[in-house]
Amino acid sequence: MDNANLFRTLVASYGSPLYVYNLDTVQLRLSELRRTVTSKAKLFYSAKANPLLAKELSAEGVGVEVTSTAELNAVSPDARGHVLYGGPAQTPQEMRYALEHGVRQFSVESLSQLILLDQQAEQSGLKPDVIIRVNPHIRASARLSMTGVASQFGMDIEHIQSNRTTIKGLMHLRLIGVHTYLGTQIEPLQNIVEACETSLAVLDEVAQVLGCPLSVINFGGGFPWPYAQKGEVCLGSIEQRINELVLRASDRGIECWFESGRFLAASSGTLIFRVLENKSSKGRDFILTDAGVHCLGGMSGLSRTLRQKVDIVPLQCTHVQHQTAHLATVVGPLCTPLDIVARDVSLRPVQEGELLTIENVGAYGLTASLVAFLGKPIPVEVLIVKGKVKRTLALKLVWEQCADARA
């Protein structure tokens, strides 16, 4: 079955809008990334990109980077030893839950979080490995830069320096390395290599400041992939430099970790949705659909990120294929003017009931959307392998009576 027929069949079974994730594509990206970072490096999948892929990727021997109990629960219990638990401002309850559910590696972002984890580890009778997330002095050329600028993420080196005695006195943590995260969608690709070089220097600096050997550097993610646009990224141009860097570090007894969300997940996902109505208003054409910012690009619905070009492709409809394209604004069904999927896209005329698709939405798609806003149906998510359904999941929005506010 070709993709168009498969998608049509899946929509007939699971409704529209629908997310389909192709695990064969995830495999392809995984082998490309493994080739780039070499087998000497340890690879983590960043579950925030799409928690539903965590199970499959951990079955492939990839560690999983999680930042919440829900993301941790998306990883099979037998793979939790390979989880890296991070994120700022974790509560003692979250730390305790992670420790009790098999997590033994943490990325910690502040002194108070280090102290909190040390206490939780002591109470659990455990001594987890810890990498300290550092906010170095440089700034990556990333679209979402979290480094080198004032930020709630990570610790400044000066702060590590002034608290070195306290940090070294935390007896229930095994301090093994440093974590830097330079941003997402890092382009041009050469900037990733430069960011890695800088991170290695930061590792040496922190080891010197603390006066103890550190053997792990987590470079973070940032390998790019188009979002909701056609296109692809080939890592070939940085393969050799990253290979050399990892091998050089390995020769010094340093293990390199990479955590990637977008690159591994994005290309696997397609959103399929339906045209509900064509409408003209004051000279502009609108296509009203059943997919809005509750399904995709939720943060843009809050005007929090720049609107970018979105490529929308009709699933197929041969009898109108010869018609010429015109500009239309594709919107969702929510009653807010911010519910815009794509502004002024060039599209052939589409008919009510017809299915449209957006590719490259396997990362930061549904879980990064405003699923609860206005209570419209949440798309079902289908994982396919070799054209066959492997798993089907439905995120449910249900309000239940709650006697205890924290239950």
Ligand X SMILES: Cc1ncc(COP(=O)(O)O)c(C=O)c1O
Interaction site with ligand X (CB under 6 A)? 46, 48-49, 65, 86, 181, 184, 220-223, 259-263
Distance CA 234, CA 75 (A): 28
Judged by CB, which is closer to ligand X: 176, or 374?
176
Judged by CB, which is closer to ligand X: 128, or 222?
222
Judged by CB, which is closer to ligand X: 166, or 190?
190
Judged by CB, which is closer to ligand X: 186, or 371?
186
Q: Closest Cα to residue 107, out of 80, 89, 92, 125?
A: 89
Judged by CB, which is closer to ligand X: 41, or 347?
41
Provide the minimum distance between the beta carbon of 186 and ligand X in the complex, in angstroms, as a whole number.
8
Judged by CB, which is closer to ligand X: 144, or 313?
144
Can you tell me which residue has the tokens 């070709």? Answer: 2
Burial 70-92 (b: 16+ CB within 10 A, else e): ebbebbeeebbebbbbbbeebee
Give all strands (DSSP E) within 219-304, no chain letters: 255-260, 269-281, 284-289
Provide the minimum distance between the beta carbon of 49 and ligand X in the complex, in angstroms, as a whole number.
5
Provide the minimum distance between the beta carbon of 342 and ligand X in the complex, in angstroms, as a whole number.
22
Provide the minimum distance between the beta carbon of 89 and ligand X in the complex, in angstroms, as a whole number.
13
Residue 24, both tokens = 């064969």
Closest-CB residue for ligand X?
221
Distance CA 136, CA 158 (A): 10
26 φ, ψ (degrees, to nearest 5): -60, -45
- CA-based end-to-end distance of the chain: 46
Provide the minimum distance between the beta carbon of 139 and ligand X in the complex, in angstroms, as a whole number.
16
Provide the minimum distance between the beta carbon of 140 and ligand X in the complex, in angstroms, as a whole number.
11
